[in-house]
């Protein structure tokens, strides 16, 4: 057997899986040159959620990160994860946009493009695959591994014939290699041997295995894949390994040391870099924390949810002050997935199913549906592996809706020029236009920060280790203690009907004492909206993406009036009552908390 080759994922999937992709460039660059000297087959450093997280949470330019990596790691091929027609976003993009993004990624430093589609639908891969080949880069076509309730290879959908068929189709698209992407750690060791053996017999290009440790089977599955002749496996440095991440590279190379499959990597170099990571990771303690004490999540064998998805759900529910609802959400996800035709739980389908499951638990089943889920049920994301539950489809789609049947991207108008025009007054850089086009709300917010038009929010600023430690040691201030006992309700207190998702609340609002003098000068300010007005409030934290009505416009109950980007999905929020739009009190692009007012409606 030839020596096994290893792709390192430390700078991408490892921190995406364990810490919601929050590792900053400044904490990766110090060991980049040493990583380059190890002898990895490739290093996965970009794509996936790194692009979104850098702009959304860190105020970092992902293009600059990639260029910095390329400068410091010229010898090791740099690899990215590309979501086919979805690129690094959460919907399908127009062909001209795909072409430009792939070309610019290649120019910035990507050598290997691992291209996948969440539904394994080759129609969603054709454009990006062709763009990679035109750029002269390595095209790795990827099969998303999934199972149904039986939990093993060979169920009613995901059997060996299914994977061999996908592999042959993808090889026929001029793939330079084929990867099995086991995002939830569901590939059992002997199934790994069976699958890899069959793929090696069927293909004339290298085969690679990417798996996660979530279930505890990953190291065993990697060894069985190596025995079956796999060419490359993914692993990462120990401090960011295990749990929902990849197997650790250090024990893997020691397990093979001295054998004919010896990876030939320097253990001492790996240990030194691991020590460095241990020294900086305490800065990210809030993102590394997990409610679980076990290193593995044996329940993934039942709920089958990828680890990165679990870490994101945990972070999002914590922001909503609803972390206690996580068990309900984890129970809802398999149910929603079955209703949606068993899509593999990988981005963007994992975010879509996960977000819908959160909404189902917190708001009510399918009472709030993201635009992306509506598009998926409409066939705009591709072929579902099995039929979608007709009752769920009927609840989501309009009565006269006709699901699409062709290549989804054929229905998308060119959009690159529109993105360039949208940022023209800020930047003429194509990369900035691509950033905006991928994430219009958060992308524009980032660009305004990047070019000094808006200040960087405190929560985006990097912290030193000392600052992070000081924050953990400082007890939270008591708001009640600072503000004293609650004041008496004044005669200006007004009652409002507030609608949050599918829930209704009647609340009373009173101005603070220090605002009374100013307010008394203006009766409109003092009294605010009329008592009978209805407030549409944010059902969860998010960013106001756009308003689809105008102030003064008459709307009907159920009409979409606000689009809220929440949990990386766009959620169309309907008017709770018929009436006239009186005000949109929150600016487009603003971050809102659950319960913040989005629209004020005068009912009729």
Cβ atoms of residues 184 and 306 within 8 Å:
yes
Most confident of 126-130, 327-331, 466-470, 492-496: 126-130
Predicted local distance difference test score (pLDDT) of residue 524: 33
Cβ atoms of residues 196 and 207 within 8 Å:
yes
Q: Locate 425 and state its tokens.
A: 């007054």
Q: What would the mean pLDDT of 383-387 be, rounded to a whole number?
A: 93
Most confident of 295-299, 337-341, 534-538: 337-341
Largest pairwise CA distance in the chain: 85
Q: What is the spatial distance between Cα 366 and Cα 369, in angstroms, rounded to a whole number? A: 6
Band (132; pLDDT cuts 50, 70, 90)? very high
Is 134 within the bounds of a domain?
no
pLDDT of residue 567 exceeding 80: no
- Could you tell me how far CA 450 lies from the centroid of its own chain? 22
Predicted local distance difference test score (pLDDT) of residue 515: 45
Q: What would the mean pLDDT of 245-260 be, rounded to a whole number?
A: 96
Is 154 within the bounds of a domain?
no
Is 225 within the bounds of a domain?
no
Q: What is the spatial distance between Cα 496 and Cα 339, in angstroms, rounded to a whole number? A: 37
**Number of domains the chain contains:** 2
Q: What is the spatial distance between Cα 373 and Cα 82, in angstroms, rounded to a whole number? A: 21
- The domain that holds 504 is classified in CATH as 2.40.50.100
**For residue 526, what are the domain limits?**
491-603
Is 346 within the bounds of a domain?
yes
Burial 154-182 (b: 16+ CB within 10 A, else e): eeeebeeebbbebbebbbeeebbbbbbbb
Q: What is the spatial distance between Cα 554 and Cα 301, in angstroms, rounded to a whole number? A: 51
Is 284 within the bounds of a domain?
no
Band (540; pLDDT cuts 50, 70, 90)? confident
Burial class (CB within 10 angstroms; exposed 0-12, middle 13-18, buried 19+) of 478 = exposed
CA distances from 452 to 55, 295, 314, 426, 457 (A): 14, 43, 32, 10, 12
Q: Locate 380 and state its tokens.
A: 């705009």
**Long-range pairs for 450-453 at CB < 8 Å and ≥24 separation?**
450/59, 450/61, 451/426, 451/427, 453/426
Q: Locate 601 and state its tokens.
A: 């409606």
Q: Determine which of 89-93, 242-246, 486-490, 540-544 has the lowest per-residue pLDDT on average.
A: 486-490
Predicted local distance difference test score (pLDDT) of residue 291: 64
Domain boundary among 379, 396, 413: 396
pLDDT of residue 279 exceeding 90: yes
Which uninterrupted H or E stretch holds 180? strand 177-182
Q: Dihedral of CA 508/514/517/518: which sign?
A: negative
Neighbouring C-alpha atoms within 13 Å toward the C-beta of 284: 23
Mean pLDDT computed over every residue of the chain? 88
- The domain that holds 330 is classified in CATH as 1.10.472.90
Domain boundary among 396, 414, 447: 396
Is 202 within the bounds of a domain?
no
Predicted local distance difference test score (pLDDT) of residue 229: 96
Is 227 within the bounds of a domain?
no
Strand partners, 85: none
Band (517; pLDDT cuts 50, 70, 90)? very low
Q: What letter would DSSP give residue 370?
A: B
Domain boundary among 380, 396, 412: 396
pLDDT of residue 294 exceeding 80: no
Predicted local distance difference test score (pLDDT) of residue 144: 96
Cβ atoms of residues 591 and 543 within 8 Å:
yes
Q: What would the mean pLDDT of 69-96 be, rounded to a whole number?
A: 96
Q: Locate 23 and state its tokens.
A: 């590792």
Residue 510 phi, psi (nearest 5): -130, 145
Q: What letter would DSSP give residue 321?
A: T
Determine if the peptide bond prior to 348 is cis (ω within 30°): yes
Q: What would the mean pLDDT of 15-37 be, rounded to a whole number?
A: 95
| pTM, rounded to two decimals | 0.81
Q: Where are the alpha helices (DSSP H) in 300-439?
A: 300-303, 307-319, 326-339, 349-362, 371-377, 390-396, 416-422, 430-438
Cβ atoms of residues 269 and 37 within 8 Å:
yes
Neighbouring C-alpha atoms within 13 Å toward the C-beta of 335: 13
3-state helix, strand, coil in the chain (%, to 5): 45, 15, 40
Q: Locate 268 and state its tokens.
A: 């001492």
Q: Determine which of 27-31, 48-52, 450-454, 573-577 has the lowest per-residue pLDDT on average.
A: 573-577
Is 589 within the bounds of a domain?
yes
Give the DSSP per-residue string, 509-547.
E---GGGHHHHHT-HHHHH-S-TT-EEEE-SSSEEEEEE
Q: What letter would DSSP give residue 489?
A: P
Q: Determine which of 69-78, 326-335, 473-482 has the lowest per-residue pLDDT on average.
A: 473-482
Residues contacting 474, CB < 8 A, separation 6+: none
Reported as a single tens digit per residue, the pLDDT across 412-433 is 999 999 999 999 999 999 999 9
Q: What would the mean pLDDT of 54-67 be, rounded to a whole number?
A: 97
Percent of residues, the chain, with pLDDT higher than 90: 64
pLDDT of residue 197 exceeding 90: yes
Q: What would the mean pLDDT of 107-113 be, rounded to a whole number?
A: 98
Burial class (CB within 10 angstroms; exposed 0-12, middle 13-18, buried 19+) of 585 = middle
Strand partners, 508: 495
């Amino acid at each position: 057997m030839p020596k096994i080759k290893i792709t390192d994922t430390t700078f991408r999937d490892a921190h995406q899986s364990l810490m919601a992709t929050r590792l900053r460039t400044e904490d990766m660059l110090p060991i980049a040159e040493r990583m380059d000297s190890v002898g990895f087959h490739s290093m996965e450093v970009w794509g996936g959620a790194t692009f979104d997280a850098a702009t959304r949470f860190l105020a970092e330019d992902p293009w600059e990160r990639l260029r910095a990596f390329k400068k410091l790691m010229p010898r090791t091929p740099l690899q990215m994860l590309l979501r086919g027609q979805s690129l690094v976003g959460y919907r399908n993009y127009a062909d001209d946009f795909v072409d430009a993004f792939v070309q610019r990624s290649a120019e910035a430093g990507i050598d290997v493009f691992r291209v996948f589609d969440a539904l394994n639908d080759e129609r969603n891969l054709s454009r990006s695959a062709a763009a990679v080949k035109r750029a002269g880069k390595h095209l790795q076509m990827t099969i998303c591994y999934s199972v149904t309730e039986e939990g093993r290879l060979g169920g009613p959908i995901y059997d060996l014939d299914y994977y061999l068929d996908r592999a042959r189709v993808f090889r026929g698209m001029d793939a330079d290699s084929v990867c099995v992407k086991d995002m939830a750690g569901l590939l059992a060791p002997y199934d790994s041997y069976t699958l890899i053996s069959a793929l090696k017999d069927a293909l004339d290009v290298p085969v690679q295995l990417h798996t996660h440790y979530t279930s505890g089977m990953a190291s065993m599955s990697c060894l069985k894949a190596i025995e079956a002749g796999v060419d490359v496996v993914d692993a990462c440095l120990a401090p960011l390994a295990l749990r929902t991440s990849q197997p650790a590279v250090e024990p893997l190379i020691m397990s093979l040391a001295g054998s004919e499959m010896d990876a030939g990597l320097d253990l001492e170099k790996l240990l030194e870099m691991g020590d460095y990571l241990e020294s900086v990771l305490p800065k990210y303690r809030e993102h590394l924390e997990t409610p679980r004490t076990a290193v593995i999540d044996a329940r993934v064998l039942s709920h089958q949810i990828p680890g990165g998805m679990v870490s994101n759900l945990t972070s999002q529910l914590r922001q909503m002050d609803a972390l206690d609802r996580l068990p309900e959400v984890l129970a809802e996800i398999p149910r929603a997935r079955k209703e949606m035709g068993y899509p593999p739980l990988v981005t963007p389908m994992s975010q879509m199913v996960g977000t819908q499951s959160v909404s189902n638990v917190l708001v009510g089943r399918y009472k709030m549906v993201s635009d992306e889920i509506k598009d998926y049920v409409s066939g705009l994301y591709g072929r579902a592996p099995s039929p979608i539950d007709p009752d769920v489809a009927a609840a989501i789609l309009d009565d006269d809706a006709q699901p699409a049947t062709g290549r989804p991207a054929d229905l998308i108008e060119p959009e690159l020029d529109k993105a360039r025009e949208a940022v023209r007054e800020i930047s003429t850089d194509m990369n900035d236009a691509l950033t905006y086009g991928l994430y219009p709300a958060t992308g524009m917010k980032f660009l305004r920060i990047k070019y000094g038009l808006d200040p960087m929010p405190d929560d985006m600023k990097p912290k030193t280790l000392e600052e992070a430690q000081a924050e953990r040691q400082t007890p939270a201030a008591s708001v009640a203690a600072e503000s004293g006992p609650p004041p008496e309700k004044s005669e200006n207190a007004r009652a409002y009907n507030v609608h949050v998702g599918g829930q209704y609340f009647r609340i009373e609002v009173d101005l603070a004492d220090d605002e009374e003098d100013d307010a008394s000068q203006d009766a409109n300010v003092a009294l605010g909206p009329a008592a009978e007005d209805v407030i549409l409030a944010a059902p969860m934290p998010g960013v106001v993406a756009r308003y689809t009505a105008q102030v003064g416009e008459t709307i009907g109950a159920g009409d979409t009036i606000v689009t809220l980007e929440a949990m990386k999905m766009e959620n169309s929020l309907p008017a709770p009552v018929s009436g006239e739009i009186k005000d949109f009190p929150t600016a487009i692009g603003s971050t809102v908390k659950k319960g913040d007012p989005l629209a004020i409606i005068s009912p009729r």
